[in-house]
Amino acid sequence: MPDNPGSLMSGFAVSPVVEDKTLVSGGLDGTLYAFSAGVSDLAND
């Protein structure tokens, strides 16, 4: 999460959700962030 100059606080305000191997969460600044969840298919072998 990038620094927000002048802000006293930063972080995530929304619980993360994983959908189709993508993790999505909302920041305190109102921005939605999406990351590759890195889910392995090894459990299905």
Each residue's pLDDT expressed in tens, for the chain with a length of 45 residues: 566 677 677 777 888 888 888 889 988 888 888 988 765 554 554
In this structure, what token pair is assigned to residue 31?
């921005």
| The CA-based dihedral angle spanning residues 8, 14, 16, 19, taken in that order and rounded to the nearest 10 degrees | -130
pLDDT for position 8: 74
Rounded to an integer, what distance in angstroms lies between the CA atom of residue 5 and that of residue 11? 14
Give pTM, 2 decimals: 0.55
